[in-house]
Amino acid sequence: MKRVELESLLKSFFLFFLSQLLLILALFYINYTKELQNLDEGVFSKMRICSFDLSCAEYEIDFEDANKHELYKLYKDKKSVSSYFSIPGSTQNVLKIYLPIGDYSAKVAAVRRDFVLKFALVVFVIIVLSLFFAFYTLSPLRNALNLTQEFIKDILHDFNTPLATLRLNVSMLEAEQGESKKLQRIKNSVQTVLSLQSNLRAYLHNHSSQVEEFALDTLVKERVQLIEENFAHIKYDFALKECSLKTNKEALTRILDNLISNASKYNKRDGNVRFIFKGTVLEIEDSGKGIQNPDKIFKRFYKEQERGIGIGLHIVQKLCEEIDVSISVKSEVGVGTSFFLDLKSVITG
């Protein structure tokens, strides 16, 4: 299940569950209050019957001053629950019938226990209904996502033929006419489309379930070796240490390729790119032009250069979310840019 599907499922579940739970809590509270009132009324009724024949083993009997208490009313204190009744032929004393507070508390506890059991059963039913509701509401979203993914996969597949034709014809023209700026621009555009194709393919995969263990320093150096021939004027420095990761290697590879490519393409002449690993954070630092609006670079289609279409870093952010890696950026115009990948959730040693 993709992150967006899981998020939608959880939101639907908790929205339905919490709304039903609040309603049930209100109803149970009202019924619980009424049940306690019924308990008090039942206790008072038994005391009243007891006042006639005094044959009530459950209750205690005593006498009190008639002027101190109101008759036919239920009293509660720390020691007992009691009520007072008149004695025929007596004006100075009244009959006190009371129930020890321990016995009364046991009756209240029995009522509470019954309500807790009923409440737990109702909550279980609500959880089942909430799950059913969440999966039911998720179904249209999943169908739409699947259709979109299939459509994108078909488009990506159809790209192969025209891209292969373009590359072949550019090579033929280059062989006939030699290198030129126009042909180089065409080659750069084709390479941009190929990079976008690779990014989209990587993003469509379910990275959360495809996990393998590998060395970070080895992967970084391998990705730099593939690109450094195209940027002979850039110096690559490594301040890495041995670190084992357990995550989706393909997704992290696409992340590194994008960041390394950007650090190289938008760097200064004879600039440098440094890879620094401290604690759990991998920093990719360049001496390039810098970014004017670092807070916007992960937005789709946002770009500050003419090259590219402004979707690479957006896909990088989505891939980081998929494999639970935090990404941040710090940049100063004219000085350079640093990207930070916090790998604490995927480090194994």
Q: Are strands 336-342 and 281-286 parallel, antiparallel or unpaired?
A: antiparallel
Place of tokens 């209100």: 26
End position of a domain, from candidates 137, 168, 201: 137
End position of a domain, from candidates 117, 137, 157: 137
Residues 139-148 have pLDDT tens digits of: 877 777 777 7
- Give the domain range for residue 19: 3-137
> Can you give the CATH number for the domain in which 259 is found?
3.30.565.10
Distance CA 342, CA 277 (A): 10
The 3 state secondary structure assigned to 180-213 is CHHHHHHHHHHHHHHHHHHHHHHHHCCHHHCCEE
Greatest mean pLDDT among 139-143, 155-159, 221-225? 221-225
Same domain, 329 and 221: yes
Residues 52-94 have pLDDT tens digits of: 888 888 899 998 888 888 899 999 999 999 999 998 888 888 9
Domain membership flag for residue 142: no
Distance CA 263, CA 107 (A): 74
Domain membership flag for residue 161: no
Q: Is the pLDDT of residue 116 over 80?
A: yes
Same domain, 109 and 232: no
Same domain, 114 and 218: no
Characterize 105-118 residue by residue with b for buried, 16 or more Cβ atoms within 10 angstroms of its Cβ, and e for exposed: eebeeeeeeebeee
Q: Is the pLDDT of residue 207 over 70?
A: no
Residues 298-346 have pLDDT tens digits of: 887 777 666 656 677 888 888 898 888 999 999 998 899 999 999 999 9
Domain membership flag for residue 184: no
Burial class from Cβ neighbours inside 10 Å (0-12, 13-18, 19+) for residue 192 reads middle
pLDDT for res 106? 94
Characterize 122-133 residue by residue with b for buried, 16 or more Cβ atoms within 10 angstroms of its Cβ, and e for exposed: beeebeeebeeb
Q: What is the dihedral of CA 43, 45, 47, 49, to 10 degrees?
A: -150
Distance CA 225, CA 236 (A): 10
Same domain, 215 and 336: yes
Residues 19-51 have pLDDT tens digits of: 999 999 999 999 999 999 999 999 999 999 998
User: For residue 284, what is the enclosing H or E element?
Assistant: strand 281-286
- DSSP, collapsed to helix, strand or coil, labels residue 324 as coil
DSSP 157-175: HHHHHHHHHHHHHHHHHHH
End position of a domain, from candidates 116, 137, 158: 137
Q: Tokens standing for 86?
A: 């008149």
Same domain, 114 and 232: no
Same domain, 17 and 133: yes
Query: Contact 343/216 with Cβ under 8 angstroms?
Result: yes
Place of tokens 């891209």: 163
Listed residue (304, 315, 322, 313) closest to 284, CA to CA: 313
Identify the band that residue 124 occupies on the pLDDT scale cut at 50, 70 and 90. Answer: very high
Mean pLDDT of the chain: 86
Same domain, 121 and 235: no
Q: Is the pLDDT of residue 125 over 70?
A: yes
pLDDT for res 220? 93
Domain membership flag for residue 94: yes
Q: For the chain, what is the domain count?
A: 2
Domain membership flag for residue 151: no
Domain membership flag for residue 64: yes
* pTM listed for this prediction: 0.52
Same domain, 223 and 121: no
Domain membership flag for residue 217: yes
Residue type, 332: E
Place of tokens 């850039």: 234
Domain membership flag for residue 147: no
Residue type, 92: Q
Q: Tokens standing for 196?
A: 């976008």
User: For residue 257, what is the enclosing H or E element?
Assistant: helix 249-265
pLDDT for res 260? 92
Distance CA 69, CA 82 (A): 11
Same domain, 216 and 298: yes
